[in-house]
Amino acid sequence: MTFPTSVGLGGERVSFVPREQYKDTVRALRDDGYEMCVDVCAVDYLGHPGRELPDGVAPERFEVVCNLLSLSRKERTRLRVQVPETDCRVASLFELYPGTEAMEREAFDLMGVVFEGHPDLTRILMPEDWEGHPLRKDYGVGRVPVQFKEAPGPR
């Protein structure tokens, strides 16, 4: 399987994997010696003026970023998966790396990406009855209104 790749600033390989082949790619990489999944996170690119993507990769609003580490080869690799806003789902890596359980829950909780096949996809950091996903760009930062002297109402 070959995907568009680029080289990260730390010298690591960055692959842009289609969503459908995400899990298979990670499985192949795991069998290839990437023993550890260091990090899974999601990025909301809403409002981003334009990221550099190689040819053949259509930008979508969300991106799931997975950092793998090979201890034997002392190498890192990063997978960036484009996830559309309308169908915000991606396969869970839990079967391959059980350690992604908490990371995927965090990404679901804060960014609202659904990881299919995750055994316990519940909120992890926010309260259970919280509405919305705070790290999304269209989720405003809460603020405490400050009353300035003789100011015409809240700003």
Residues lying near another protein in the complex (CB under 8 A) are found at: 8-10, 12, 35-39, 41, 43-44, 47-52, 65, 67, 71, 74, 76, 78, 88, 95, 97-103, 106, 108-110, 112, 114, 119-120, 122-135, 138-144
Which burial class, exposed, middle or buried, applies to 130 when counting CB atoms under 10 A from its CB (0-12, 13-18, 19+)?
exposed
Which burial class, exposed, middle or buried, applies to 155 when counting CB atoms under 10 A from its CB (0-12, 13-18, 19+)?
exposed
**Shortest gap between Cβ of 20 and another protein (angstroms)?**
19
Q: Name the residue nearer to another protein (CB basis): 15 or 100.
A: 100
**Shortest gap between Cβ of 81 and another protein (angstroms)?**
14
Taking the C-alpha atoms of residue 94 and residue 106, their distance in angstroms, rounded to an integer, is 13
Q: What stretch of H or E contains 24? A: helix 22-31
**Shortest gap between Cβ of 90 and another protein (angstroms)?**
13
Q: Name residues whose C-beta falls within 8 Å of residue 55's C-beta, 6 or more positions apart in sequence.
A: 4
**Shortest gap between Cβ of 125 and another protein (angstroms)?**
4
Show the tokens assigned to 63: 């991106």
